[in-house]
Structure 1
Amino acid sequence: MPFDVLFVCTGNICRSPMAERLFLARVAADAPVRAGSAGTSGLVGHAMDRPSALVLRELGADGDRHQARRLTASMAESAHLVLTAESDHRAAVLRLAPMAFRRTFTLREFARLGASSAASAPSPTADDLRVRVGEIAGLRGFTPPVAPGADEIGDPFGAPTDVVRRVGAQISEAVDAAILALGLGAR
């Protein structure tokens, strides 16, 4: 059974599909993972926002054929790791699936916590990845606090392209750090 990662934002047309597609483009091809995305207020059936799709291409991934989905309890419950753009999204996930607490983080929080400890398995199995998420969850409260907003990725919807590029850079950096935190090889 593969390890399932779910990326969550508001509309599922900017941040979460960018993170999903970057993750899939950068994780090793033989890694036992799948990724998807959804929005807390998902604009069901919509394609990626054009500026976000442009920035995603600049970052080396493809947003073609993306169709926005609305987050459901079953999506959150079945994911082995849920990574959100903002803490409000994390709270929305936990309202739908309270038992997902130990595997739900903001993307930047997971990257930050995972950077504070090394992954152990060189070629992790799906079971190793589930264990790793638990290890990272166990670090909550044992790492120095961060400035308010430091774990948030702002919404670029309707913003100028330079803002979308800054958000894309934040997502790109956090996705790379999450891949490293999980101990997954990169392409």
Structure 2
Amino acid sequence: MCDGNLARSPSAEFISRHRAGEGSPWSFTSCGARAVRSDRVMTDVANALGELGVPSAGFHSRQATTSILREATLILTADARQNAWIVEETPGLFRRTYLIRQAARLLSDLPGGADPVAFLERVKDRPRPDDDIDDPYRKGPEAARRAVREIDEALAIILPAIGATGSAHSG
């Protein structure tokens, strides 16, 4: 989840789907706290995803709703503003909501055989300032590349840890 559902959260959705593959037991979707109606991700973000070999076709932005969020096993946000929005809108989802880099940081210590979602709930800490991923909206191609790279690096830890893929990606 991010603000406009045009850059960071769709990047996480597309990277997750691509890295997990078709046989994954997980499904991935994205939404925004203040979603902008669009049928494509930002051009700079689409280009950055393409540089990783991640397709971004078939996108439609979605507004975050209580029902969408309640269906999620795990909610990953781009920055602390979205966490605050979720807690305000649906306080009961606090234990399932993490900044994407926070989740990666915590899951890097996941003991073998442990349930990753239960582990996250048990070790949840306060997000750190460096857990935020800056919004690349209208900031140019380098900002888009940086955001996509940071999301990809976090997902390289998260996806294998939750059993969404067999191993960390290469490249």
TM-score, normalisation: structure 2: 0.90
**Equivalent of 2:121, from 130, 137, 144?**
137
2:84 is aligned to 91
Q: Is the 8 A contact 1:119 1:183 kept in 2?
A: no
Cα RMSD over matched residues?
A: 1.8
Q: Distance in 1 between matches of 2:41 and 2:139?
A: 14
Secondary structure of the equivalent of 2:103? Answer: helix
Q: Distance in 1 between matches of 2:112 and 2:34?
A: 34
1:173 is aligned to 153
Name the count of aligned residue pairs: 167
After TM superposition, the runs of 4+ consecutive aligned structure 1 residues lying more than 6 A away are: none
Distance apart, 1:41 and its partner CA: 0.4
Secondary structure of the equivalent of 1:38? Answer: coil
Give 5+ residue unaligned stretches, structure 1: 1-7, 122-130
Distance apart, 1:30 and its partner CA: 1.8
Q: Distance in 2 between matches of 1:140 and 1:34?
A: 23
1:160 is aligned to 140
Q: Distance in 1 between matches of 2:136 and 2:160?
A: 26
Tell me whether 1:183 sits opposite 2:167 in the alignment.
no
Give 5+ residue unaligned stretches, structure 2: none
Q: Distance in 2 between matches of 1:20 and 1:119?
A: 26
Against the structure 1 CA distance between its residues 38 and 69, is the aligned structure 2 distance closer, same or farther, given a 3 Å change threshold? same
- Matched-pair identity in %: 29
**Structure number with higher strand proportion:** 1
Q: Is the 8 A contact 2:30 2:62 kept in 1?
A: yes
TM-score, normalisation: structure 1: 0.83
Q: Distance in 1 between matches of 2:97 and 2:117?
A: 9
Q: Distance in 2 between matches of 1:118 and 1:78?
A: 26
